[in-house]
Amino acid sequence: MLNQLTIKEARERLDSGQITAAALTMACLEKIKQADGQIKACLLVDEVGAVKAAELADRRLAAGQRGGLLGIPYLAKDNILTKGLRTTAGSAMLASYIAPTDATVIVKLKAAGAVLLGKTNLDEFAHGASTEFSAFGPTHNPWDLQRVPGGSSGGSAAAVAANFCLFALGTDTGGSIRHPAGFCGVVGLKPTYGLASRFGLVAMTSSTDVPGPLTKTVEDAALVLAVIAGHDELDRTTVKRAEDDYGRAMNLESIKDLKIGLPKEYFSAGLDKSVVQKIKAAAAQLEKLGAKLVEVSLPSTKYGVSVYYIITPCEISSNLARFDGVRYGHQAEAINLAEHYALSRAEGFGPETKRRIMLGTFALSAGYYDAYYLQAQKVRSLIIADFDNAFSQVDLLLTPTTPHTAFKFGEKAQDPLAMYLEDLFLTPSSLAGLPAISIPAGLIGNLPIGLQLIGPKFSEPLILGVGEKLQIKI
Ligand code: GLN
């Protein structure tokens, strides 16, 4: 089945003329038709556009062009703008919104000849860790349809796990690529903040938002990163730096010199024994290759979730002020302007998004700003300092992605705190802007569990190189 290929495998076959981009695209579209009725990963499938893009890719191949993502079919999370195609961000607010422009990552993928198949489901405005907060209904985990795929990029992770596409784009603000990658048994890479452009993402938390790939293998994540990374005049927080060789295979000699940190706060008492066992097995594997394991401490880890759930609602309340029923999205029928604003927002936003807007507005208001927002920013610097300190002793950190495997629908949706604690191991690296990857670490029962590698800023080549040595087929 062509849709089951990795990017690397498809690349070889496309370049040697063994298969066409059109056939590869059709295989993906057929798989979506056959299985998405149950999984519900896609909010939109653009069959006509995909077939056209595949034909163009085949003409480029026929003209001798090769390599990269030429002719590779993918899906994009629906908070990434696509010109002429609906972008909902999983919200009733944007149920019929059509963006006038493509996000920079989409522009880059188009130029590379990748084939956009459609858009994937997410928690409303990427607020969540289960995809249950989508206004269009939840996505189901392909490993067990009674369970959530994680979130907020749950549609993208489920789509890759179900072989709907060869890769998918997600966004990660506090774990939204890594969390569902862990729950669905795929690879999810959150690049360093500022490595890939945020232009054209529906903004959530501008100080931590990053787009990144969800793939079947670590090598594939490197191939996608190579296309989407780079400075963008339209996002002045992207950095200007020489291109890295992400696909470079790590030679075994260099693993011998590596020090891998195991942060003790990420292996605390409450953690499931079977999860610890999987991560320790990965650590042992690295040790066998010659790396040195070192226990490190990141003492401010315990503040990660609290700090994140002050700072992100503050930025959300500011970023979502633009949805006023006038310029974008849902417009209520109202008798005057004040009511128009109020009703449009009341009708357009779901409960979790409203909760975050209210929390953020409160934390930023006069009299509370110092006690909450400013204080949270100070503790954020402690979290950053913890990582700086750790990376003066070790090259990379190895942790679990999540404390457990995928949970059942409804288990946490009514309890915001339980849902927020899903991000325990994910928010600190987001607050510090560091790159991190989730890789399948094996199965517990019949469900996948992920391991996470976190590195210093711009250490993607190292993370990918070591990740490649750790990946196992599940
Ligand atoms: N689960 C986290 C949240 O709800 C992460 C979201 C994200 O990274 N977009 O905020």
Name the residue of 130, 173, 317, 422 whose CB sits within 8 Å of the most ligand 1 atoms, as the mutation to test its pocket: 173
- Phi and psi, residue 330, nearest 5°: -55, 135
Which pLDDT value is given to residue 44?
A: 98
Summarised one tens digit per residue, pLDDT across range 421-465 is 999 999 999 999 999 999 999 999 999 999 999 999 999 999 999
Which pLDDT value is given to residue 246?
A: 86
Whether residue 244 has its Cβ less than 6 Å from ligand 1: no
Whether residue 213 has its Cβ less than 6 Å from ligand 1: no
Active site includes 240?
A: no
- Which of 172, 179, 140, 176 lies closest to 158, judged by CA? 140
Looking at ligand 1, which residue's alpha carbon is closest to its atom 5?
174
CA of 177 to the centre of ligand 1 (A): 9
Confidence at 254, pLDDT banded by 50, 70, 90: confident
The answer to whether residue 247 scores a pLDDT higher than 80 is no
Which pLDDT value is given to residue 250?
A: 63
The architecture in CATH of the region 2-252 reads Alpha-Beta Complex (3.90)
Whether residue 468 has its Cβ less than 6 Å from ligand 1: no
How far is residue 317's CA from residue 323's CA, in Å, rounded to a whole number? 10
Summarised one tens digit per residue, pLDDT across range 314-351 is 999 999 999 999 998 999 999 999 999 999 999 999 99
Which pLDDT value is given to residue 183?
A: 98
The pTM of the full predicted model, rounded to 2 decimals, is 0.97
CA of 152 to the centre of ligand 1 (A): 6
Which pLDDT value is given to residue 256?
A: 86
How confident is the model over 227-233, as a mean pLDDT? 97
Whether residue 345 has its Cβ less than 6 Å from ligand 1: no
Which pLDDT value is given to residue 253?
A: 72
CA of 284 to the centre of ligand 1 (A): 31
Which pLDDT value is given to residue 270?
A: 75
The answer to whether residue 252 scores a pLDDT higher than 80 is no
Active site includes 268?
A: no
Whether residue 129 has its Cβ less than 6 Å from ligand 1: yes
Q: Annotated catalytic residue: which of 130, 176, 197, 317?
A: 176
Whether residue 120 has its Cβ less than 6 Å from ligand 1: no
Name the residue of 423, 426, 429, 438 whose CB sits within 8 Å of the most ligand 1 atoms, as the mutation to test its pocket: 423
The answer to whether residue 249 scores a pLDDT higher than 70 is no
Average pLDDT, the chain: 96
How far is residue 261's CA from residue 465's CA, in Å, rounded to a whole number? 16
- Which of 354, 369, 273 lies closest to 316, judged by CA? 354
Whether residue 163 has its Cβ less than 6 Å from ligand 1: no
CA of 311 to the centre of ligand 1 (A): 12
How far is residue 385's CA from residue 342's CA, in Å, rounded to a whole number? 42
Q: Annotated catalytic residue: which of 152, 197, 317, 438?
A: 152
The answer to whether the beta carbons of residues 89 and 200 sit under 8 Å apart is: no
Summarised one tens digit per residue, pLDDT across range 153-190 is 999 999 999 999 999 999 999 999 999 999 999 999 99
Summarised one tens digit per residue, pLDDT across range 16-50 is 999 999 999 999 999 999 999 999 999 999 999 99
Which ligand 1 atom is nearest residue 127's CA? Answer: 4
Q: Give percent of the chain with pLDDT exceeding 70.
A: 99
How far is residue 345's CA from residue 338's CA, in Å, rounded to a whole number? 11
Whether residue 127 has its Cβ less than 6 Å from ligand 1: yes
Whether residue 128 has its Cβ less than 6 Å from ligand 1: yes
CA of 176 to the centre of ligand 1 (A): 5
Q: What residue type is assigned to position 433 of the chain?
A: G
The answer to whether residue 296 scores a pLDDT higher than 90 is yes
How confident is the model over 194-210, as a mean pLDDT? 98
Bridge partners of residue 212, in order along the sequence: 170
How confident is the model over 371-395, as a mean pLDDT? 98
Active site includes 152?
A: yes
Which pLDDT value is given to residue 389?
A: 98
Q: Annotated catalytic residue: which of 40, 77, 108, 119?
A: 77
Identify the burial level of 83 via C-beta atoms within 10 angstroms of its C-beta, where 0-12 means exposed, 13-18 middle and 19 or more buried: middle
